[in-house]
Amino acid sequence: MRLESWPRCPEAASLCEGLLERFLHENSMVQEMAHRFHAYAGVRLANLIDHWVVPRSILSVEELERVGMIETDVEGEPVWQHPQARLPRFRVGARWRLTIAVESLELFLRQNRWEPERVEGDFDSAYQEAVGTLPQGELAVVVRKGYTGFRPGRLTEEMRVILEDARERWRVRRRDKEAIMEAQQLAEELVSVLGAGRAADEFFAIEREYYMTRNRAARWQYTRQQELGLGWANHDHHTYRSSRESFADLMQLWSTFGFQFRERFYAGAEAGWGAQVLEHPESRVVIFSDVDLSPEELFVDFAEQPLRPNESLGTIGLWCALHGDSIGTAGMHHLEAEYDWAQVRALLIENGFGVMKPFTDLPMLKQAFTEPEMWPVDEERCARLLQSGQITAEQAERFRRQGAAGSHLEILQRWEGYKGFNQAGVSAIIRETDARKLV
């Protein structure tokens, strides 16, 4: 089984925080920008940082390595990164530069009324960068699309047409019982043309679009972040629920996109669920894929071995039976993004969106769902579940009248570079959001 325990990395995180604090103190324009992001949308500038460029007079390689950063080679350039933490990368250069990442460079420039000295890279290419001089150093704003390097991208007319066609095909793909098969075929085709990193980025951008059509809290929060020119640049992970019989096929789809398997959670005896976390080496996307598991499946390699249908449905299986799998009709169960937790919670509540009690409240991680978006339940699905004994007549009637809990927006704050999850907290929220319990 692929199991990992991610450490807390306080020294590395402290170095990054101190560097940002110093940069903001010496550059009031960026400090004011950070304040606006925080006040209006709860977004922390620290969660948008793509990388730093630092002269040795400000930060030595020895200091980076002392806190656990290791030197890697990115297209012939030495780049330092922490192998076990969710922290920015570092390059060595003549001028001090803070680089933040957004989803659209043009939107960011317009919304923030910022005129950089230069813009490099073609629109919609793998890497676009705008750079402007500050009193102390430089600010750079970048857009990455499935690319980890630093070379300005080029986009041919042929590739532009291919991208437009790919996006349209993802938008209109089937979301019925054949969804996983069509998605697999499209993924294989587009990975061969676009490369795994770009194909993954394009797919999940469309998936976030679909998810937002079904979740009001996410639409409201996204609108706020768009008004700041950020988009979903602060996304943390995407959560996909799957029926047992489709889970292995879903893992195959993620593998086709080039995702790497990270830690796995098993809580079969505890809460009837399991999950596989995946991360992409070129895209920023992280996936949390969960599924019903039974107690006797502790040692089953459920990410690769097909799972047979269970006689009884757990929280995840029932959700899929009511709404469809996330890869199909339902869309994502939730998108999680990074914030100042208290600030974004206050903004959501102030604007009419309930936030549930935190299901994780630890020194290095805090998480909570918005109140669930209630979705109507198809009569045929209700009747099938009632006939099979998965729900009671009373529950079936409630689902017909009120619908059932669908998706959430998840708000999260991380400290100390921690990039993992909390199994006990996830178990608690899965139990709490079971459709049979929610009224």
Q: Would you list the domain boundaries of the chain?
A: 10-144, 161-432
pLDDT of residue 338: 99
Percent of the chain's residues with pLDDT above 70: 97
Q: Do domains 10-144 and 161-432 have the same CATH topology?
A: yes
Percent of the chain's residues with pLDDT above 90: 88
For 270-286, give one letter per residue: b (16+ CB within 10 A) or e. ebbbbbbbbbbebbbbb
Higher pLDDT, 297 or 372: 372
Q: Is a pLDDT exceeding 50 seen at residue 2? A: no
C-alpha distance from residue 343 to each of 232, 340, 352 (Å)? 17, 5, 15
pLDDT of residue 270: 61
Q: Is a pLDDT exceeding 80 seen at residue 204? A: yes
Are 37 and 234 contacting, i.e. CB atoms less than 8 angstroms apart? no
What is the token pair recorded at 438? 């929610």
- State how beta strands 260-267 and 127-134 pair: unpaired
Residue type present at position 392: T
pLDDT of residue 271: 62
What is the token pair recorded at 107? 């939107």
pLDDT of residue 3: 40
- Tell me: the pLDDT tens digits for 326-340? 999 999 999 999 999
pLDDT of residue 311: 85
What pTM was computed for the model?
A: 0.96
Higher pLDDT, 216 or 434: 216
pLDDT of residue 1: 34
Largest CA distance in the chain: 72
Q: What is the mean pLDDT of residues 409-430?
A: 92
Q: Which of 66, 64, 113 is nearest to 90 (CA)?
A: 64
End-to-end CA distance of the chain: 37
Are 150 and 75 contacting, i.e. CB atoms less than 8 angstroms apart? yes
Lowest mean pLDDT among 15-19, 230-234, 293-297, 380-384: 293-297
For 359-370, give one letter per residue: b (16+ CB within 10 A) or e. bbeeebbbbbbb
pLDDT of residue 5: 80
Q: Is a pLDDT exceeding 70 seen at residue 262? A: yes
Give the domain 161-432 fold.
Answer: 2,3-Dihydroxybiphenyl 1,2-Dioxygenase; domain 1 (3.10.180)
Give the domain 10-144 fold.
Answer: 2,3-Dihydroxybiphenyl 1,2-Dioxygenase; domain 1 (3.10.180)
Confidence grade of residue 428 (pLDDT, cut at 50, 70, 90): confident
Q: Is a pLDDT exceeding 80 seen at residue 19? A: yes
pLDDT of residue 418: 98
Residue type present at position 45: L
Spatial separation of the C-alpha atoms in residues 277 and 250, rounded to whole Å: 12
Q: Is a pLDDT exceeding 80 seen at residue 250? A: yes
Average pLDDT of the residues of the chain: 95
Higher pLDDT, 116 or 430: 116
Rounded to 10 degrees, what is the CA torsion of 410, 412, 417, 422? -70
174's torsion region: left (phi>0), alpha (psi -120 to 50) or beta?
Answer: beta
Spatial separation of the C-alpha atoms in residues 321 and 314, rounded to whole Å: 10
113's torsion region: left (phi>0), alpha (psi -120 to 50) or beta?
Answer: left
Are 100 and 114 contacting, i.e. CB atoms less than 8 angstroms apart? no
pLDDT of residue 170: 98
C-alpha distance from residue 251 to each of 99, 105, 170, 241 (Å)? 33, 33, 18, 12
Q: What is the mean pLDDT of residues 111-133?
A: 98
Q: How many CB atoms lie within 10 A of CB 290?
A: 25
- In three-state form (DSSP H/G/I as H, E/B as E, the rest C), the secondary structure along the chain is CCCCCCCCCHHHHHHHHHHHHHHHHHCHHHHHHHHHHHHHHCCCHHHHEEEEEECCCCCCHHHHHHCCCEEEEECCEEEEECCCCCCCEEEECCCCEEEEECCCHHHHHHHHCCCCCEEECCCCCCEEEEEEEECCEEEEEEEECCCCCCCCCCCCHHHHHHHHHHHHHHHCCCCCCCHHHHHHHHHHHHHHHHCHHHHHHHHHHHHHHHHHCCCHHHHHHHHHHHHCCCCCCCEEEEEEECCHHHHHHHHHHHHHCCCEEEEEEEEHHHHCEEEEEEECCCCCCEEEEEEECCHHHCCCCCCCCCCCCCCCCCHHHHHHHHHCCCCCCCCCCEEEEECCHHHHHHHHHHCCCCECCCCEEECCEEEEEECCCEECCCHHHHHHHHHCCCCCHHHHHHHHHHCEECCEEEEEEECCCCCCCCHHHHHHHHHHCCCCCCC
Confidence grade of residue 268 (pLDDT, cut at 50, 70, 90): low
Confidence grade of residue 353 (pLDDT, cut at 50, 70, 90): very high
Lowest mean pLDDT among 24-33, 68-77, 426-435: 426-435
pLDDT of residue 269: 61
What is the token pair recorded at 217? 């809290």
